[in-house]
Amino acid sequence: MIYLDNSATTRQYDEVTDRIAKVSREEFGNPSSLHSLGLDAEKLVKRSRKDLKDKTGLKKLIFTSGGTEADNMAVFSVARKYRRANKKYITTKIEHPAVLEAMKRLEMDGNNVIYIPVDSEGIVNIEVLEKEIDKDTALVSVMTVNNETGAIQPINEIGKIIKEKSPKTIFHTDAVQAFGKMRLKNLNADMISISGHKFHGPKGIGALYLNDKFNILPYIVGGGQESGLRSGTENVPSICGISLAADMSYTNFDKKMKKLTSLNEYLYEGLMSELTDIKLNGPQNRLPSVLNVSFLGTRAEVLIHTVEQDNIYVSTGSACSANKNGDSDVLSAMGLNHEEIEGAIRFSFSEFNSISEMDIVIDRFAKAVKRFRKLGSFR
């Protein structure tokens, strides 16, 4: 099996799986219980929280059920804080649905939401963003890395602009695709969302980092867990799992990123040498774990199912948008036409991939693309 859909989800580290199993079997107490088993579970949660906080430098961290809840919490908690004020909310046209759909909900409730455009490489238009930020802006939400193209957004520059123009505006970044593949310490943001299964951790666990200079209103209420900001019995096994996965992701980090860069460049150059009419979607200086390419004159969906017969797994884009009809919102925002979007494939790599796998992928894709172009079966 050659798995190149790591932006959708990653294979869990074996050590993480073992850790989760051990905690589930032996340390299953409720962290809110007063007996020793509960206190031991509480210590595990505290230790995991400290280890994860060290990865960004932000002082607070709320455990969530994943990136979607973390994004929703960031948007809706700010909106609830300013629910009686005439405030502005700013995001971009290439955000993950967890942010875009939340913003659409705010619009339905009568809030003023601004969607900032991006250029042909998928980078946010800083000039437009700067013009829109004012003292009435409650929240700006811009993802760190785009999940479909790997485009890295100028988060530190955006954060600086926000603080200069409107110091009270809260800046949130969805770092789900970036965490474990970029160093995020000193990132110029007030809130950061992450999700465990994007960096070889468990599914169903994520976190929202918070600047300690402000408080948000609780998104889920109940027993008052997570310092009263997110009620519900803590998922101790997964919390231990996401913490271990984070530590492992950042171990030998530079070596891992060098490998991903080599895989990315090797695959792209190999495809270019075998095929004509290929378009790179996104910047040259992108996150090394993502490569988005349009094979003109083909349909990506057909290619995906063709190479799947050789146990090669890729995607057309965001797994969270797979049930939507029509062209990719991200690629459309970048100005791609329908044919370019229809033929777009996303390859996303992990440390478990190899150059020898890329040779197989190049060969299988070259054969499939040439065959479909010759037959014209995509029409």
The residues assigned a catalytic role are 320
CA-wise closest residue to 350 among 5, 100, 1: 5
Tally the C-alpha atoms within 13 A of residue 350's C-alpha that lie toward its C-beta.
Answer: 25
CA distance 271 to 252: 29
CB distance 192 to 58 below 8 Å: yes
Two tokens, residue 16: 């993480």
> Exposed, middle or buried: residue 55 (CB in 10 Å: 0-12, 13-18, 19+)?
buried
HEC sequence for 189-212: CCEEEEEHHHCCCCCCCEEEEECC
CA-wise closest residue to 263 among 169, 152, 356: 356
First and final C-alpha spacing in the chain: 30
Tally the C-alpha atoms within 13 A of residue 15's C-alpha that lie toward its C-beta.
Answer: 9
β 191-195/170-174 pair status: parallel
CA-wise closest residue to 182 among 335, 297, 288, 325: 288
